[in-house]
Structure 1
Amino acid sequence: MQKNGIDLSTKYQITLYLGSQCNLHCAYCHREASDGEGGITEEFLEELKRNPPGSIKFMGGEPLLYMKEIRKVVAAVPKAKFAVSTNGIGIEKHMEYFREHRFQICISYDGAEKDLRGYDPFTALWDYPDLAVSTTLYHGNTDLGAIMDRFREKEKVIGRPLSFFPHLMHVTNEANRKYALTREDYDSILEQYKKYVGLYLSRLKRFGIKDLRYEGLYQTLERRWETHYTYGETYCSNRTIRKVDAQGRQYPCLYIRRHELSDNWLKDQQALLDALNPACRQCSVYGMCGGACIVSQEHALECRFYKALYTWFLKEGNRP
């Protein structure tokens, strides 16, 4: 059975964009604000009840500003797995609810020497069983070793380990361009990936030890290796993941909602990729990459970086 191009015979995933309101407005953020947000529609709630997803991740803006809407969705599909990606401001008053419904909480923390976010979520003990971290690399914050050192210092504060799965900042407007990763930044990040993933693999092969400092970097690559994207699928929108807004409309990107996808979403995304970079169709690492960020104004630089990284990873000896 198909709905909006998703195979409903398996439990699909939804990433739900609740709206653009935020209480931080980070300088490098790449979302476009929305006008006239109306909240979760009854029609969309009914669709979720008829075809319940296996998991739902709530995003914004800042999703904690939309707790009323989150509660509506959880009530409609209580058996789904839930996650929320948040800056953490005011989260204390919602913790009991998140525990009750076994949410994974993903906290934004960049580990930067000079913080651009304006809020530190890790200043006290965190007594919560399922905690993840979202880390953005941007110009001025690309030293992975230094970032990991700051993660270790924060672990002493909160009393638990922190995951390290960095992702790249995307240039989508002139306001955030000053934080764009340069060609030199990408080259540096590439060499650091090789260094730290190489250390992880050498210790795993020699001693059977998984070095937790670098495991996230390795797992980022391993998970991409296992995806096997077909042309038109992307990291953000593929056969198992739908990106939808509060009305249930599907997009290839929730931050830049310019292209609503039809039921034939794969063909729609193929057309977007053909217009963006026709070379993607023949790329040897498309199965891992999925076209990089298809809304980035610096797509060529991202493409160059991912092709080099994934080509290196696919070489003999760079996997267990």
Structure 2
Amino acid sequence: MEKITIYLGSRCNLNCAYCHREIEENEPKVSDGLIEYIKGRPNITVKFMGGEPTLYMDEIKRIVDAAPHASFSISTNGILFPKYRDYFLKHRFFVVISYDGADGLRGYDPFQNVMDYPWLGVSCTLYHGNTDFGKILKNFAEKERIIGRPISFFPHIMHETSEKNQAYALTKEDMDSIYHQWKERVEKLVTDFEKYGVVNQRYMGLFRGLFARVQAVFSFGETYCIHRNLKKVTADGRNLNCLYIRDDEIPSDATKERMQVLLRERFPYCEHCNLYEMCGAACIKSSNHELECYFYKRLYGWFRGFYDEHCTSCDALGRWF
């Protein structure tokens, strides 16, 4: 299935200190050309992002009305989710809510009440000061009792991109800690499944991220953010290699070739890395790319060997989602 992610704009009703999006003053509307592109794809998943995409609901509705055959997802901070819940339900949106396991830095808790919605995911950002999996999972468990449903811990690391978010950048010590905690919990998930046939849903998000990387098989020039199965575009249809830092438009008919040139210039060590097919060059906008490279080499290198030893169990768990 073809996937396209649309960056609707940079406006947001929160101001998370670790966020690496760049603000844009003049934001375009969704173009007719982009709508026609989506209408012409019979088997496509459309993901809406921002900023905060629920601030652009008129644009979202234009696309949904034009292409009701598509599958839709949205990544949101959850503030306006109650207002649009029925709309998302009607059109079978998969809703990913951002929640970091603590209320302080984001300034908003999306899980204050029972949440009656069938297609829900949770994205958690790991930043300096928020890397303790035990603490985060304990907080998730407390929220599960409030909202009346399980929450899977699906983490991703924050990306240091400027002085604005530097204070929350992960250190080497943070990365080492995250690696060991991730590894320990995935090992327990898989071995418990093998021994007892039980699945710890709290660890499934950790497993999913790694399992998806084994399945990815990126070729050089494809990245984690853009590859043969995923386009990332602005509302007016510009093809970019990053939606948060929109400084590099690339031709849609020569994306891979353009990215190969860029990667050779910025990260020459990527081309011959034996883990590139899982990593996809990590975050190409990170100002600390070598540290991210160090982290992913450890995590993905370990999991590839672990997967080879436990492939039957891992494939069975992979079919759970």
Per-residue deviation, residues 51-87 of structure 1 (Å, max 9, x unmatched)? 4551101000000100000000111111100011111
Aligned to 1:249: 238
Which AA in structure 2 matches 1:221?
Answer: L
Aligned to 1:300: 290
Q: Distance in 2 between matches of 1:285 and 1:42?
A: 40
Aligned to 2:309: 317
* From 176, 179, 189, the counterpart of 1:187: 176
**Residue 271 (structure 1) aligned with residue 251 (structure 2):** no
CA contact (8 A) 2:124 2:155 kept: yes
**Residue 290 (structure 1) aligned with residue 280 (structure 2):** yes
Per-residue deviation, residues 104-155 of structure 1 (Å, max 9, x unmatched)? 111110003x621110000000001101111000000001111111111100
- Residue 50 of structure 1: how far off its partner (Å): 2.8
Distance 1:184 1:271, change over 3 A: same
CA contact (8 A) 1:52 1:77 kept: no
Q: How does 1:1-320 map to 2 (within 5 A)?
A: 11-52=1-42, 54-112=44-102, 115-262=104-251, 263-315=253-305, 316-317=308-309, 319=311, 320=313
Q: Distance in 1 between matches of 2:292 and 2:23?
A: 24
Q: Distance in 1 between matches of 2:13 and 2:199?
A: 38
Distance 1:199 1:256, change over 3 A: same
Give the RMSD, CA atoms, in angstroms: 1.2
Q: Distance in 2 between matches of 1:251 and 1:85?
A: 19
Q: Distance in 1 between matches of 2:60 and 2:81?
A: 14
CA contact (8 A) 2:152 2:203 kept: no
More displaced 10-residue stretch of structure 1: 198-207 or 41-50: 41-50
Per-residue deviation, residues 129-188 of structure 1 (Å, max 9, x unmatched)? 101111000000001111111111100000001121100100111110000000000000
How many matched pairs? 309
- Residue 95 of structure 1: how far off its partner (Å): 1.3
Which AA in structure 2 matches 1:15?
Answer: T
Q: Aligned with 1:264: secondary structure?
A: helix
Q: Distance in 2 between matches of 1:306 and 1:16?
A: 27
Higher helix share: 2
- Residue 49 of structure 1: how far off its partner (Å): 2.1
Give the TM-score normalised by structure 1.
0.94
Per-residue deviation, residues 233-261 of structure 1 (Å, max 9, x unmatched)? 11110000000000111111100111111
Of all paired residues, the percent bearing the same amino acid is 51
Q: Distance in 1 between matches of 2:83 and 2:195?
A: 47
- Residue 88 of structure 1: how far off its partner (Å): 1.0
- Residue 318 of structure 1: how far off its partner (Å): 5.5
Q: Aligned with 1:302: secondary structure?
A: helix
CA contact (8 A) 2:186 2:206 kept: yes
Q: Aligned with 2:180: secondary structure?
A: helix
Q: Which runs of 5+ in 2 are unaligned?
A: 314-321
CA contact (8 A) 1:48 1:77 kept: yes
- Residue 47 of structure 1: how far off its partner (Å): 2.5
CA contact (8 A) 2:2 2:44 kept: yes
Which AA in structure 1 matches 2:60?
Answer: I
Which AA in structure 1 matches 2:34?
Answer: F
- Residue 220 of structure 1: how far off its partner (Å): 1.2
Per-residue deviation, residues 256-290 of structure 1 (Å, max 9, x unmatched)? 11111112000111122112211111111111110
Which AA in structure 1 matches 2:133?
Answer: L
Which AA in structure 2 matches 1:128?
Answer: Y
Q: Distance in 2 between matches of 1:167 and 1:229?
A: 19
Q: Distance in 1 between matches of 2:203 and 2:13?
A: 32
CA contact (8 A) 2:38 2:44 kept: no
Give the TM-score normalised by structure 2.
0.93
Q: Which runs of 5+ in 1 are unaligned?
A: 1-10
